[in-house]
Amino acid sequence: MFSYFIKRLLYALPIAIGVTVFVFSLVYMGGDPLDAVLPDDATAADVQEIKEIYGFDKPLPVQYIRWLGRAITGDFGTSIGTGLPVADELGRALVNTLILAICSALTGFPFAVFLGTLAGYNHGQRADKIVSGFAITGVSVPHYWLAIVMVIVFSVELNILPSLGMGPGGSEDWTLDWAHAKHLILPVIGGSIISMGIIARSMRAAVAEILNQEFVRALRSKGLSESRIAYHVMKNALPSILGVVGLEIGSLMGGSILIETIFSWPGAGFLLNEAIFRRDLPVLQGTILVLAMFFVILNLIVDISQTFVDKRIIRT
Amino acid sequence: MKNNSKNIAPTVLSVSDLKVKFVTPDYSVHAVNNVSFSLKRGEVLSVLGESGSGKSVTLSAIQRLLPKNITSVEGSIKINGEEILTMSARRLNQLRGGQIAMIFQEPATSFDPVFTVGQQITEGIRHHAGCSQSEADKKALELLDLVRIPSAKDRLHNYPFEMSGGMRQRAMIALALSCDPMILLADEPTTALDATVQIQILLLLKDIQKELGLSIIFVTHDIGVSIEIGDRIAVMYGGQIVETGNLAEVINDAKHPYTKGLLSSTIHANSSGKRLHAIPGSPPNLSNAPSNCSFSERCEFANETCKNTIPDNVKLGIERFSRCLRIGVWE
């Protein structure tokens, strides 16, 4: 068991290194990194000076190692747009995105799991058809379109839910009260609708498949109650659902650009969007690096937690 | 002497006029048609038949394990005089595993893969006996010893995938025995195993049956196995029992052409020196309720009557029946 964890950790390492190389090379992907900061009339001496300040005069591997060393210690440089340390901006944004992601994961995901279970237990019947219909709609409807429609309906027409920012008056200090929670509702729905569809469908398929297996008949044959059998079914469905939920949490964290932009939610996606428009490379690098690492770690956690549920996974 | 004592033993299970029909929008199957039999305490009834003859469906019907939404079940199944088909789900769950336990064909798929074998045995014990986990653990250990699983203590913590096929089937037997059932339903328990392991499991079941005085219904398509284990035999064809009786009588003096055909198409103790014969044709289509002798299509002795009359059970002796219209004519 322990050796499996070590092995799995070692698998994650090359991926993590690959991510850092990719993120580092972002600097050079869009042409000369200094174009965005230097005024048009900068002299050659100015250019040289700036290059030295940012370390662009050194060979690439040296730049990479120095950048990596700083990144590991949490120093992602200074934002070109705001002049503030990237780590500070990013830290705040990540917390805000996490608030959204956690709210989605705690409300929408269990609901989706419940709906999927319901559909799986009633495979082919009316409940299944209704849930599957919703799930397919959830997956197929563009979530940014849905978000805009929700803004039109609930914010503009009905005027019952706010559409911008994290709290009243654009407050960014999030606290747990109704005034702030109101701001969460639309972004959470818009952000998690696709994930909910995917989770409900996976759960439905998993439950329906498990219920068809011989061992469920064997459990009935033992005289166990339906609730005890449901416990068996859930534990069997858990590994695959953990996998899907892990991926979907990852996509909530990373894929929130559109939703955060629509709702002006000052999170990582919003930051990323701003950084792209400003060509703010240090912010871009820091954000992508942290989100990608988050994804790698999340996958690691999912893989390891699956083995606690289903011991067969270790052997394969 | 042995048979005499069995004749006076009380009946623990009686099935009468059992009809099982599967109906979906696309097809319907009359899987079991007017099956009646009874099982006495301490008796082993072999149910012999080919795939699709309705033997496993009959077994599942006894525990009401058939999928509710597509199945219609008629007739009566009584355990100690208590009707199973109409009893409450609560009472049914007391009987399942408690009084009637089932051994499944595929030990590989009939254990839940994400629970240890020990957990799966003890949860049944706790459910039925309402005892503590440590008492259940103790009982599970005794059971694994009973089915001769070596180093039983470690095996309790094994997951099903960590065991061999034979070991899993032993564990399945232990699980079936865990709540001291009166009746064991064995659904081809040796079919999925290697030949050498088959015999071990068969002998084990026989020993345990004698030791505990169990009543067993042993379903198989293997005539050798059914001879090895049975006291009585019921031969199924097309969803009906076509012949039933004491094992020796049926084997030595088959009174139904299908039984006769089966015996002469298989290698067994009485077949040495004889030529093997295949039964021509294939099993009947069960999408309609029977309107004639279901074997008449393949029977070399069938006449016009056979092809449009449903044969009744002909009583040939004590609990000895044959469903043939031409008994005595064809022999």
The predicted structure's pLDDT at residue B313: 85
**How many residues are recorded in chain A?**
316
Q: Three-class SS of residue B78?
A: strand
Q: How far apart, in whole angstroms, are the C-alpha atoms of residue A125 and residue A130? A: 9
Burial label, A178 (beta-carbon count in 10 A; 0-12, 13-18, 19+): exposed
Task: Please indicate, yes or no, whether residues A53 and A93 belong to a single structural domain of this protein.
Answer: no
| Number of domains chain A contains | 2
Dmax over CA atoms of chain A, in Å, equals 86
Q: Which chain B residue has the Cα nearest residue A234?
A: B114
Higher pLDDT, B287 or A228: A228
Q: Which chain A residue has the Cα nearest residue B185?
A: A221
Specify whether the backbone of B292 is left (phi greater than 0), alpha (psi in -120 to 50) or beta. beta
Task: Please indicate, yes or no, whether residues A68 and A97 belong to a single structural domain of this protein.
Answer: no
Q: How far apart, in whole angstroms, are the C-alpha atoms of residue B230 and residue B210? A: 12
Up-side HSE of residue A172: CA atoms within 13 Å toward CB? 11
Give the DSSP letter of residue B125: H
Q: How far apart, in whole angstroms, are the C-alpha atoms of residue B215 and residue A219? A: 21
Q: How far apart, in whole angstroms, are the C-alpha atoms of residue B171 and residue B145? A: 10
**B2 pLDDT above the threshold of 50:** no
- Nearest CB to B106 within list A214, A235, A310: A214
Residues of B in contact with A315 (CB under 8 A): 161
Task: Please indicate, yes or no, whether residues A64 and A108 belong to a single structural domain of this protein.
Answer: no
Beta-strand pair B71-79/B11-23: antiparallel
Residues B255 and B68: beta-carbon distance below 8 Å: no
Residues (pLDDT < 70) of chain A are 30-38, 168-174, 255, 315-316
The predicted structure's pLDDT at residue A233: 95
Task: Please indicate, yes or no, whether residues A24 and A92 belong to a single structural domain of this protein.
Answer: no
- Nearest CB to A222 within list B96, B109, B113: B96
The predicted structure's pLDDT at residue A256: 77
Residues A302 and A106: beta-carbon distance below 8 Å: no
The predicted structure's pLDDT at residue B190: 86
The predicted structure's pLDDT at residue A74: 83
List residues of B whose CB lies inside 8 A of any A CB: 60, 63, 65, 92-98, 101-102, 104, 106, 109-115, 123-124, 127-128, 159, 161, 175, 179
- Nearest CB to B127 within list A220, A224, A232: A224
**B100 pLDDT above the threshold of 90:** yes
- Would residue A77 count as lying in a domain? no
Q: Three-class SS of residue B246?
A: strand
CATH number of the structural domain spanning residue A105: 1.10.3720.10
Task: Please indicate, yes or no, whether residues A219 and A126 belong to a single structural domain of this protein.
Answer: yes
Which residue ranges make up each domain of chain B?
A: 2-99+181-322
Place of tokens 């706790």: B126
Place of tokens 């052997």: A315
Residues 6 or more apart whose CB falls under 8 angstroms from that of A281 comprise A26, A27, A30, A33, A36, A80, A275
Of the three residues A47, A72, A97, the one that is the final residue of a domain is A72
Task: Please indicate, yes or no, whether residues A28 and A164 belong to a single structural domain of this protein.
Answer: no
Place of tokens 């609708």: A193
Domain that holds residue A283: 88-315
- Would residue A10 count as lying in a domain? yes
Task: Please indicate, yes or no, whether residues A150 and A65 belong to a single structural domain of this protein.
Answer: no
Q: How far apart, in whole angstroms, are the C-alpha atoms of residue A69 and residue A76? A: 10
- Nearest CB to B97 within list A222, A236, A311: A222
Cβ–Cβ of B124/A312 closer than 8 Å?
no
- Would residue A78 count as lying in a domain? no
Q: Three-class SS of residue A95?
A: helix
The per-type count for chain B, helices as H runs and strands as E runs, is 12, 12
**Residue-averaged pLDDT of chain B:** 88
- Residue range B2-99+181-322 forms a domain whose CATH class is alpha beta
Residues 6 or more apart whose CB falls under 8 angstroms from that of B101 comprise A221, A222, B175, B176, B177, B178, B179, B181, B183, B184, B185
The predicted structure's pLDDT at residue A312: 84
Residues of B in contact with A225 (CB under 8 A): 93, 127
pLDDT (mean) for B275-293: 82
Q: Which residues pair with B20 in a beta bridge?
A: B32, B73
Task: Please indicate, yes or no, whether residues A134 and A269 belong to a single structural domain of this protein.
Answer: yes
Nearest-5° Cα angle at B258, B257 to B261: 85
Phi, psi (degrees; rounded to nearest 5) at B98: -80, -55
- Would residue A79 count as lying in a domain? no
Cβ–Cβ of A310/B114 closer than 8 Å?
yes
Place of tokens 């005499």: B4
Cβ–Cβ of A236/B113 closer than 8 Å?
yes
Give the pLDDT confidence of B121-151 residue by residue, as tens digits: 999 999 988 899 999 999 999 999 888 888 8
Nearest-5° Cα angle at B135, B175 to A235: 55
- Would residue A157 count as lying in a domain? yes
Q: How many other C-beta atoms are found inside a 10 Å radius of the C-beta of residue B159?
A: 20
Cβ–Cβ of A224/B109 closer than 8 Å?
no
Task: Please indicate, yes or no, whether residues A128 and A60 belong to a single structural domain of this protein.
Answer: no
Task: Please indicate, yes or no, whether residues A10 and A103 belong to a single structural domain of this protein.
Answer: no
The predicted structure's pLDDT at residue A220: 93
Place of tokens 């009583």: B315
The predicted structure's pLDDT at residue B1: 39
Residues 6 or more apart whose CB falls under 8 angstroms from that of B285 comprise none
Task: Please indicate, yes or no, whether residues A160 and A119 belong to a single structural domain of this protein.
Answer: yes
Q: How far apart, in whole angstroms, are the C-alpha atoms of residue B262 and residue B48? A: 10
Cβ–Cβ of A228/B123 closer than 8 Å?
yes
Task: Please indicate, yes or no, whether residues A27 and A169 belong to a single structural domain of this protein.
Answer: no
Specify whether the backbone of B54 is left (phi greater than 0), alpha (psi in -120 to 50) or beta. left
Give the pLDDT confidence of B149-206 residue by residue, as tens digits: 888 889 999 999 999 988 899 899 999 999 989 999 999 888 888 888 888 888 988 9
